[in-house]
Amino acid sequence: MPRATGWLIVALVAFIAVFAPGSGRALGLSEAEIRKALEQNKQKQAELKNQSKRVTEALQANRAEQKRLGQEIRYLDLKMNEAETRLRKLHGEIARTEADVAKTEAALRDAEARIAARQAILKKRVRALYERGPVSYWEVLFGARSMGDFLSRLVLMGKVVAHDEALLEANRRDRALIAEKKAELDRLLAALRQKYAQVQAEKARLASLQKERTVQIAQLQAQAVDYEKELEKYDQQLSALVKEYNRLNQALTKVYWSGGQLAWPVPGYFAISSPFGYRIHPITKQRSFHSGIDIPAPEGTPIAAAEAGKVILAEYYGGYGNTIIIDHGGGMSTLYGHIRPGGIKVSVGQVVSRGQTIAEVGTTGLSTGPHLHFSVLKNGDYVNPKNYLGR
């Protein structure tokens, strides 16, 4: 707890001890003494509200950072899904390319077998020529029995030579084509494996970032809980100060309320989005006490005084944002929170009538959307507003 906050609590306890009901001191105060005590009370309230405002702003910044990190995590998750899709696609391409390489290697083996067979034929032919001597071709030609036979044998010998040359060319062509295809497939496979490794590394980087952001959000959530607890303490201290202020102010304020029902504070809008009592806070997600009722309405909707009385607060008030508190006398006061910027239409000390427009609906402070937070305080304690409203 900050040192200034501890000082305020000590001062508050001392203040209440001095002016508490039954002490005999409050009843014997002069008007000047009461006004001085009220002024001191207002100063303490102002100090406490400034601290509450700073914590509220820190909490709002915390929530904004949580939201930004949440969006970043969703983006990283999307990118990780995209990387996973690319990995599956690359895996399929690698598998297909490996199959093509295997087929090419099989084709290469088949081609090598064909080449070996062709080479065997050529070797056999060369060996036969060697064994029979270099005149074998001439023997074939001049062994013809007629000119027609000679020409036929000459054509046949040309075909044999052409066939031998074709076999040699086929050997060269098969080797070149298969080697080129194998080299191309090896290059493709290497490129795919390199791409796969790059995408894997990118996915790992994204996962690391996502884990880092998740840890940051957890830290911010823990910090937000601390902020919320601190705001609850400030609210309790402010409530005690307002209670004492109202008690002292009774001696100076005309009593307007003597029982009966209060007017509905947002004419035309009667839904209640969050009732009085304990609830799960819509922003902090923690179980906390809700000191009034929330009445949703469009921003700028007029807010009416629930009863005639004197305005004792009209400014930014911690988690309530822009706030008005009206003292109706008889220990009764009402609070109007989350008023829009520039939406406060009354000032401290002003006397208002029942149903008079005092402000406009907004969403300042800790708020999830435009609505009026309406509280009823009886002798400084929050009570259920529905017990006092006409509806």
Residues 200 and 85 in one domain: yes
From 196, 231, 252, give the residue that closes a domain: 252
Q: Are 290 and 343 in contact (CB under 8 A)?
A: no
CATH code for the domain of 177? 1.10.287
Residues 242 and 262 in one domain: no
Number of Cβ atoms within 10 Å of the Cβ of 322: 23
- The enclosing H or E element of 302 equals strand 302-304
Residues 330 and 230 in one domain: no
Quote the pLDDT of residue 285. Answer: 66
Q: Are 196 and 90 in contact (CB under 8 A)?
A: yes
From 233, 252, 271, give the residue that closes a domain: 252
* Amino acid (one-letter) located at 164: D
Domain count, the chain: 2
Quote the pLDDT of residue 366. Answer: 86
Residues 43 and 82 in one domain: yes
Residues 5 and 99 in one domain: yes
Residues forming beta bridges with residue 335, ordered by sequence position: 325, 375
Contacting residues for 47 by C-beta, under 8 A, at least 6 apart: 4, 8
Contacting residues for 4 by C-beta, under 8 A, at least 6 apart: 47, 51
Range of the domain at 221: 1-252
Residues 315 and 375 in one domain: yes
Number of Cβ atoms within 10 Å of the Cβ of 375: 22
Residues 224 and 264 in one domain: no
> How long is the chain?
391
CATH code for the domain of 303? 2.70.70.10
Quote the pLDDT of residue 391. Answer: 66
* pLDDT in single tens digits along all 391 residues of the chain: 343 433 333 333 333 333 333 333 333 566 677 778 888 888 888 888 888 888 888 888 988 998 999 898 898 888 888 888 888 888 888 888 888 888 887 877 777 777 777 777 767 765 665 555 444 445 554 555 555 555 554 555 556 656 666 766 776 777 777 778 778 878 888 888 888 888 888 888 888 988 998 899 899 888 888 888 888 888 888 888 877 877 777 666 655 676 778 999 999 999 999 999 886 666 556 677 888 999 999 999 999 999 988 898 999 988 899 999 998 887 889 999 999 999 999 998 888 989 999 999 999 988 889 999 999 998 888 999 999 997 6
Quote the pLDDT of residue 135. Answer: 40
Residues 14 and 89 in one domain: yes
Quote the pLDDT of residue 253. Answer: 60
From 224, 252, 280, give the residue that closes a domain: 252
**pTM exceeding the 0.75 threshold for the entire prediction:** no
3-state secondary structure of 383: strand
Q: Where are the beta strands (DSSP E) in 317-356?
A: 322-329, 332-339, 351-352
* Amino acid (one-letter) located at 264: W
Residues 317 and 199 in one domain: no
Residues 267 and 152 in one domain: no
Give the residue among 46, 45, 377 at the shortest CA–CA distance from 241. Answer: 45
Quote the pLDDT of residue 268. Answer: 95
Residues 242 and 149 in one domain: yes
Residues 47 and 98 in one domain: yes
